[in-house]
Amino acid sequence: MEVILKEDVVKLGVRGDVVKVAAGYGRNYLLPKKLAIEANETNKAVVVQMKASAVRRNAKEKAGAEELAKQLDAVVINFTRRAGEGDHLFGSVTSGDIAAELEKKGFHNLDRRKIQLHEPLKQVGDFTIPIKLYREVTAHFKVVIDKEAVTE
């Protein structure tokens, strides 16, 4: 089945591409989620218009992502967690925790899946975390995890 992508799809293609996919994938996932349209003659004519608007939209989105990246470079997020021997945390700091803190700092619409944290943070210390804002735009911000003071 051939489809025309209306949005960027990871490991498949970018907006405006005509790609060949399995019939079930196209029919059950791409078409219902409005990520693609069926590639017939009339829709292929629409692709030309879509590509022109996509170029304008991509430039605008990239500029917005670059501006957001400049703001995020100055951000420092602090966590205070209980830790045991060797500064190993009881629990961890996940991308969901980081996204919630970013939301509190006023960075709305940042999906936790864009935070490129391969595994949860389980140590006390300073970490530089990348967040993918757009195709070629990745920002880095600092996460500081402090040891909670023990009260006896």
On the question of pLDDT at 51 being above 60, the answer is: yes
Q: Is the pTM of this model over 0.85?
A: no
* Closest to 21 in 3D by CA, of 46, 11, 48, 7: 11
Alpha helices in 1-152 (DSSP H): 23-25, 41-73, 95-104
Q: What is the largest CA-CA distance in the chain?
A: 75
- Give the C-alpha separation, 38 to 5, whole Å: 9
pLDDT score recorded for residue 40: 87
On the question of pLDDT at 48 being above 70, the answer is: yes
On the question of pLDDT at 152 being above 70, the answer is: no
* Closest to 44 in 3D by CA, of 6, 1, 4: 4
pLDDT score recorded for residue 49: 78
* Number of residues that make up the chain: 152
Model confidence pLDDT, tens digit, residues 65-95: 899 999 999 899 999 999 888 889 988 999 9
On the question of pLDDT at 2 being above 60, the answer is: yes
Model confidence pLDDT, tens digit, residues 130-147: 999 888 889 999 999 998
Exposure of 146 in the CB half-sphere (CA atoms within 13 A): 8
Domains of the chain: 2-65 (3.40.5.10), 70-147 (3.10.430.100)
Phi and psi dihedrals of 125, rounded to 5?
Answer: 150, -170
pLDDT score recorded for residue 76: 93
- Give the C-alpha separation, 64 to 47, whole Å: 25
On the question of pLDDT at 151 being above 70, the answer is: no
- Give the C-alpha separation, 116 to 95, whole Å: 8
Model confidence pLDDT, tens digit, residues 99-137: 999 999 988 888 888 899 889 999 999 999 999 988 888
pLDDT score recorded for residue 131: 92
